[in-house]
Amino acid sequence: MTALGAKTWVFSGGNVPATSTGVEPEFTSRDELCLLNTGDRDAGVEVTVYFEDDEPSGPYRLAVGARRVFHVRVNDFIDPHAVPLGVSYGLVVSSDTPVVAQLTRLDTRQAELATSTTLGYASGG
């Protein structure tokens, strides 16, 4: 199948909520990067995180198998630097083959949890 998507995705509105309610890990507040690789070869992905008052962090290296979907919590970006909770950030996702990317937030700071999903800005097919 043809690799759908783009090689670069940009997300400007990240912010992992600092608190959670409910059972962990299912109800841990989080931002989650979701990647879809429809192509016939594995995708090598690098994520760079940008902050309001700090230098960028990364790259965080990921692999997305051919014809697979991959989800990773931004909370789990630890090496080379843990993404701090409750701090605004932006992401640049770069892939060596086209992928589709979205960012999902689960906010469980209150018992009435909220979720939202956004498709990023795609650049470079």
pLDDT digits (tens, 9 = 90+) for 56-70: 999 999 999 999 999
Would you state the structure tokens that stand for residue 91, as one six-digit string? 């992401």
Classify residue 67: in a domain, yes or no. yes
Q: Are 95 and 59 in contact (CB under 8 A)?
A: no
Taking CA atoms, 125 is separated from 9, 45, 46, in Å, by 10, 14, 16
Classify residue 57: in a domain, yes or no. yes
**Which residues partner with 99 through β-bridges?**
6
Instruction: Report the pLDDT value the prediction gives residue 108, as an integer from 0 to 100.
Output: 53
Instruction: Report the pLDDT value the prediction gives residue 68, as an integer from 0 to 100.
Output: 97
Confidence of residue 33 (pLDDT cuts 50, 70, 90): very high
HSE (CB half, 13 Å, CA atoms) of 50?
8
Classify residue 125: in a domain, yes or no. no
pLDDT digits (tens, 9 = 90+) for 67-92: 999 999 888 888 888 888 788 889 99
Classify residue 1: in a domain, yes or no. no
Higher pLDDT, 61 or 109: 61
- Whether 53 shows a pLDDT value over 60: the answer reads yes
HSE (CB half, 13 Å, CA atoms) of 112?
0
| CATH code of the domain containing 77 | 2.60.290.11
Classify residue 68: in a domain, yes or no. yes
Classify residue 23: in a domain, yes or no. yes
Phi-psi region of 86 (alpha: psi -120 to 50; beta: other; left: phi over 0): left
Instruction: Report the pLDDT value the prediction gives residue 80, as an integer from 0 to 100.
Output: 87
Total domains in the chain come to 1
Tell me what the mean pLDDT of segment 3-19 comes to. Answer: 84
Confidence of residue 8 (pLDDT cuts 50, 70, 90): very high
Range of the domain at 24: 6-120
Q: What are phi and psi of 30, to 5 degrees?
A: -165, 160
- Whether 109 shows a pLDDT value over 80: the answer reads no
Do the strands 68-73 and 89-107 form a parallel or antiparallel pair, or are they unpaired?
A: unpaired
Tell me what the mean pLDDT of segment 85-102 comes to. Answer: 92
Classify residue 90: in a domain, yes or no. yes
Maximum average pLDDT range among 20-24, 33-37, 88-92 = 33-37
